[in-house]
A and B are shown apart, each in its own frame.
Chain A
Amino acid sequence: MRQYIIKRVVVSFIVLFLVSILLYSIARSVPGDYVANVTGGNPNITPEMQQRMRELYGLDKGIFEGYVSWLKDALHGDLGTSFKYQKPVVEVIKSYMAPTFALAFISMVLEILLAIPLGIIAARKQYSMTDYTIVAIAIMGISLPSFFFASVLRRWLSIGLGILPISGMVTARANYQGFDLFIDYAKHFTLPIIVFVINGIGGLLRYVRTNMLEVLSADYVRTARAKGLPERKVIGKHAFRNTLIPIVTMVGGMIPSLFSGAVITEGIFSLEGLGRVALDSVYNGDIPYLMGFNMFIAVLTLIGTLISDILYAVVDPRVRY
């Protein structure tokens, strides 16, 4: 097991290395005069920063040489200086990651908690009205762009009914402290999370359903029934544990889409998170931040995959490393 983890970590590093090459070459393909253009007109950006960016991406050096020096910097945690914030990218990421993480992880947990039972119910009643309804609603959730959902839901829940705040992270008017502040945060995060969950649950639910269908026709489920186990236990224990295996692998893969989604959701709801900053940096030509953000997500994704793989071994005894 330990050996396997070590092997996986090594492989992750290799992948990360390849990702970095890819990202670096994208940064490299930014035309030089574009850097000058984008940065030249902005008084915030000093020639030093321009120079720093050229240096960072080695625009003045050969590809190989440039990459080596960039990698060296990156390994030391230097992903460049954000043009917009005039701070090291790593610091910017640190200071804005709390809302993004909260949003992403709560949504992920909710998605899993909802998708699994619903997927199982749909599978149990394949081709029934219940099945059709659950699947149709879930797929509808993934059939509209998130900004569309967000706008319409906000129109309905916030502006129309006034149940939830329209945007922002806290109620500006009130000076909440302690638990009230926490509740206030929660209220502001509810709508973004709903949007996230609606948008993410369909894929997972469908996956659960398909796997459940597969498992339900497996021999060992028939065996379990032949033992006289009540249906509840057949599904809840024997079938469920087996559907869990593919689901675990899927969860690790959800991370990139969660963070991609943050770009839109945070923008719409004025949440100060990494996604919104990323969106702003496009408008500001803040390439160092965008690169750093992508690198950050790549690392998270790899960690997610790693955890998935390890969990995979935990839930499936057949997997031995």
Chain B
Amino acid sequence: MKKAFLSVLLCVAMCATLLVGCGNKEAAATTTTDSSATTETTDEAAETVTAPGTYDTLVVGTQVFDGVFSPLFYESAYDGQVCDMIFTSVCVLDPDGKLVDNAGHVEVKEEGGKYIYTVTLQDGLKFSDGEPVTIDDLIFAYYVYADPTYDGNSTFGTLDIEGMADYVNSAAPLWKCLMNATADNTDFANWDEDTQKKFFEEDLPTAGAAFAQEIVDYCVDAGYAADANDVSTAAGAWGFEVAEGGTAEDFFNAMVEAYGGDLLNLSNTESAGSSLFDLLDPAYTEAIELTDVNEITGIKKVDDLTCTVTFNSANISGDKLVAWQPLVPKHYYGKDFKKGDLTSVKALNNAPLGSGAYTFVSYDNNIVTLAANPGYFKGAPQIPNLKFQVVDENTKVDLILNGDIDITDPSASLEVVAQMEENADKAAYSLVDNPGYGYIGINAENVPDLNVRKGLMCLMNREPAVKSYYGELAEVIERPMTPTVAEYPRDAKPVYSYDPAKALEYFKEAGYEQKDGKLVKNGEQLVIKVGIGDASSHPSTPILTQMANDMADMGAELVVNDLQFSVLTDMVKGGELDMWVMAWGNATDCDNTQMFGSKGGSNYQHYYSDEIDALQAKILQTVDFDERAALVAEELDLIMDAAIYMPVYQRKNMEIYNATTLNIDTLPERTTTYYNYASQIEKLQMN
């Protein structure tokens, strides 16, 4: 009897867990549906939606959201897509990529070597909660970007705006302050003497020793040193001299000496993993207010609808940086905003509010739901509801053809185009140039010999791969810059064409010789480690296949690592690969400093050239287009000569539309890289 009771109890318990499990979302807690009932509802649904004029919801198929729906902080393009609907920018891009007025206007004038941008807003703009839009809202965005603790995507804080540096540097993590102040500092306004003493006498040396030890361990792993105590040998391998029997601390001191006390530089250059400052107590990462600079002098409010931004130097994309910015309601986001503390702003990342065509309703079940904003300044959108649904890349076309979604962007391929043509009655598509390009990069630190790099370049057989993979949908490019940028040198000639014989010559020039079927130098075989993301469906895969084959013939080896994209990125950033296959996207100007400048954050090839740096600086300040284009061509030639980047292809992006639900005639006449359905969403209609 007891047992019977127990079994009942257990059943109840199990049901309870089931219910709890399904509590918050009533996700199909019962068994599958009665199939007849299912089909019935399908029929009904089909009937109701095929009646003319009854589509009231536009569904856009997109990919995974991070859930950061704030124009100030979003990272993923898909989150950005949503933000574009909810927020308006002062100016936007026209089909040709030129900045044009939207909710306002921008003008620039030169005055005594300074460039003053004047931004004016239209009168009468309102946020969706009814509050009027003022210039304060734009200035608020500037201040968020410029905040010392800002960690989003925008580079606004690095611009050469009057007073910007003072503002940004007015606060810094404690360690940075201490470091800059040095041990001799006697100003204890921001921290006390004990802290300083403890930092320099205990914590820094400890962290330094840990930092050095990491290098030693690395050397041990790599076989350069015998064991973790063998600091002297490891230091030797790292290029420093430490006496026999020295400790990790000695090693660190040796490094400090070599860098003349520039610990920041030391940490960046020598790190075997952790940054020196990561090894410090987390208490040191807290921000310290250094000065009471609370304003950026270059940003001035003129009246409620006008402000000026003063640049110290010329910037070719200054207008975009100033005016292609969203209007974020200060009264909403900025309520608790203080300099140095963005948490209150970030807290609203999941509840955006703006003055765009649509307002945010909800984000659940992988769907972002938006509703039309009747007060939108360009007129209320014609489609009352807009939803962004997360869909799988592989099913995008089917979803369009099945009528589940209305607009999406599958990766363009000949088959997709063919399928679209086949279903011309049900779907339409547009092809635009992708503002980016695919390339194969070489790490100049790991492959220091220019001739080896050149040899590798000569083994890259790009044309057949790109042609067969993309057909008409992509072209082989010869310089590392996307041709959608006006400055791209369209008549550039190939620098390295596919020629295994020549490659071998280069290798021989580099000192390699073929011995017993192996290509060796100083007894070591030429082995190149290359990384590629998702190789099974990558246009560059055949290039590597051919390359591996040719290198094997020569007696060298190409080790291909097929990696997940995130891992590939990490390995490239960590400098662990000799060569990698990647692509750049979303380029809007000819500024290459990030990728090729010595201080560029994306200079993964670790090739540093003063000549290139100088050219880049010059380009950024050359306002005349032709002059600039010539400089760009020169810069790109230099990069090609260094054999660090092999541009591979520039492809087209595709957008496909559901012709049954969508009134295709209301789509933009000219869809380009810079201009698509979203650019005039308020005009879009459904059947």
A98 and B26 alpha carbons, distance in the complex (Å): 8
Contact assessment for B282 and A98 in the assembled complex, using a CB-CB cutoff below 8 Å: no
Nearest-CB distance from A178 to chain B (Å)?
9
Q: Select B64's contact among A98, A186, A280, A285, beta carbons within 8 Å.
A: A280
The verdict on A172 contacting B3 (CB below 8 Å), with A98-B25, A105-B18, A167-B395 known, is no
Cβ-defined contact, B282 with A47, below 8 A: yes
- Is the pair B565, A283 in contact by a Cβ cutoff of 8 Å? yes
- Is A126 in contact with chain B by the CB < 8 A criterion? no
Q: Which residues of the partner chain B approach A185 to less than 8 Å between Cβ atoms? A: 25-28
Given A102-B28, A166-B398, A182-B28, A307-B10 contact (CB < 8 Å): yes
Q: Which residues of A contact B67 (CB under 8 A)?
A: 85
Chain A residue contacts of B59, Cβ below 8 A: 172-173
Q: Which of these, B7, B218, B277, contacts A314 with CB under 8 Å?
A: B7
Smallest beta-carbon distance A263→chain B, Å: 15
Cβ of B404 and Cβ of A183 under 8 Å apart?
no
Chain A residues, CB < 8 A from B564: 282-283
Task: Please tell me if the beta carbons of A172 and B27 are within 8 angstroms of each other in the complex.
Answer: no
Q: Answer whether residue B537 sits at the interface, using C-beta atoms and an 8 A cutoff.
A: no
Stretch at the interface among A35-43, A69-77, A235-243: A35-43
B382 near A: Cβ within 8 Å?
no
Does A33 have its Cβ within 8 Å of any Cβ on chain B?
yes
Is B365 a contact of A105 with CB atoms below 8 Å? Answer: no
The answer to whether B26 touches A182 (Cβ under 8 A) is yes
Which B-chain residue is minimally distant from A178 (CB atoms)?
B26
Determine the chain A residues whose CB is within 8 A of the CB of B14 once the complex forms: 307
A40 to B273, CA, bound (A): 10
Contact pick for B3, options A99, A102, A314, CB 8 Å: A314
Q: Are A187 and B6 in contact (CB under 8 A)?
A: no
Number of interface residues of B (CB under 8 A): 74
Check: B615 CB closer than 8 A to any chain A CB. no
Residue B511 interfacial (CB < 8 Å): no
Cβ of A153 within 8 Å of any chain B Cβ, yes or no, is no
Q: Tell me, in angstroms, the Cα distance from A171 to B367 when the chains sit together.
A: 10
Q: In the complex, are the beta carbons of B278 and A101 less than 8 A apart?
A: no
A133 at interface, CB cutoff 8 A: no
Any chain A CB within 8 A of the CB of B638? no
A172 / chain B contacts, CB cutoff of 8 Å: 57, 59, 367, 387, 389, 404-405
Binds B, one of A157-165, A201-209, A225-233: A157-165
Q: Is B285 an interface position by the 8 A CB rule?
A: yes
* Residue from A102, A170, A183 in contact with B41 in the complex, judged by beta carbons closer than 8 Å: A183
Q: Is the CB of B27 within 8 A of A163?
A: no
Contact of A110 among B32, B152, B282 (CB under 8 A): B32
* Chain B neighbourhood of A6, CB < 8 A: none
Q: Report the minimal beta-carbon distance from B505 to chain A, rounded to whole angstroms.
A: 37
Within 8 A of B (CB), among A305-321: 307, 310-311, 313-314, 317
Assess the A173–B392 pair: CB atoms within 8 A. no
Whether A174 and B75, one on each chain, are in contact in the complex, defined by CB atoms closer than 8 angstroms, is: no
Chain B residues whose CB sits within 8 angstroms of the CB of A168 once the complex forms: 365-367, 389-391, 404
B contact set with A: CB distance below 8 Å: 2-4, 6-7, 10, 14, 18, 21-33, 37-39, 41-42, 45, 49, 55, 57, 59, 64, 66-67, 75, 151-153, 214, 218, 272-275, 277-278, 282, 285, 365-367, 385, 387, 389-392, 395, 398-399, 401-402, 404-405, 564-567, 569-571, 573-574, 576
17 contacts across the A-B interface (CB closer than 8 A): A1-B2, A1-B3, A33-B214, A33-B274, A36-B278, A37-B574, A43-B151, A98-B21, A102-B21, A106-B30, A110-B32, A163-B42, A168-B404, A173-B55, A173-B59, A187-B33, A285-B566
